[in-house]
A and B are shown apart, each in its own frame.
Chain A
């Protein structure tokens, strides 16, 4: 049953496109932070780079897993390709589910490193929330990974809010709103689990996530890839 919810969603294509936008934004952030790390050797920028590499791969894999079967079905009128099952640790897993698990693992890694960048001060609290959240949702590898990602995302947005309250700078506010909208979208998506087929919750989840990605991109768009001379310093 791993990932069955994702398989039977009527929003496969829309969600796939949404995650494609996410992977594009992730790639942009990754490139800017990589340039920044090359020029300043800042560990903060290295963490941001690794975090967004993982998030880009995670988002792209999710987008691919959503979009590919839609196009495949349109072209070949067949639903065989991603329903291929195989044994993994004696557990039968469909290829689609495996893709989603790998994507969720990358997302988890990305959000974890992003949260690490803020310095995890209340790890015990975070794990308690993740366990509670895990109980509320369908217990599966995918949902556990997603719920831990959700906690890290929530933690990241909370820390960004604290930074905004400290400095009152607008780009930080956009970043907070972006992270908050993404975590809200993820939460609404979990709520949508209780409804089958087309549900207003699902539509709101997609809209909220889209707003989140736009908010995240707003401050990033002002940073062009660094055009100055590359220092490549060794400090």
Chain B
């Protein structure tokens, strides 16, 4: 049975896949993000555009390829998400 993922969880999955997959400052391409976060292309591009607009992710160009790295704000978001996920879990809830 597939597990329901909330919007917040999907965003956290995208951010952590960018964080884990980035090699140094070269960032992560959209294909790798789609694979790691288990999303469709359309959904992933929408989410990444929103994350770039909100300043959680930065878009860079490496060898004419669009790549994404986590901004300082994105790292902070991931950290607080992890903390508050534990908090919500102590009430038997998921973020």
Contact = CB atoms under 8 A, between A and B. Distances in A.
Interface residues of A, number: 36
Interface in A113-172: 114, 117-118, 159-160, 162-164, 167, 169, 171-172
A45 interface: yes
B90 A41 contact: no
A235 B91 contact: no
Contacts of A43: 6, 8
Contacts of B92: 118, 159-160, 162-164, 172, 175-176
Given A40-B84, A228-B80, A233-B77, A45 B90 contact: no
Nearest to B87: A223
A192 B80 CA distance: 45
Interface residues of B, number: 26
A233 B84 CA distance: 15
A36 B86 CA distance: 11
A77 B88 CA distance: 47
Given A36-B87, A235-B54, A118 B93 contact: yes
5 contacts: A36-B83, A36-B84, A43-B6, A171-B90, A233-B54
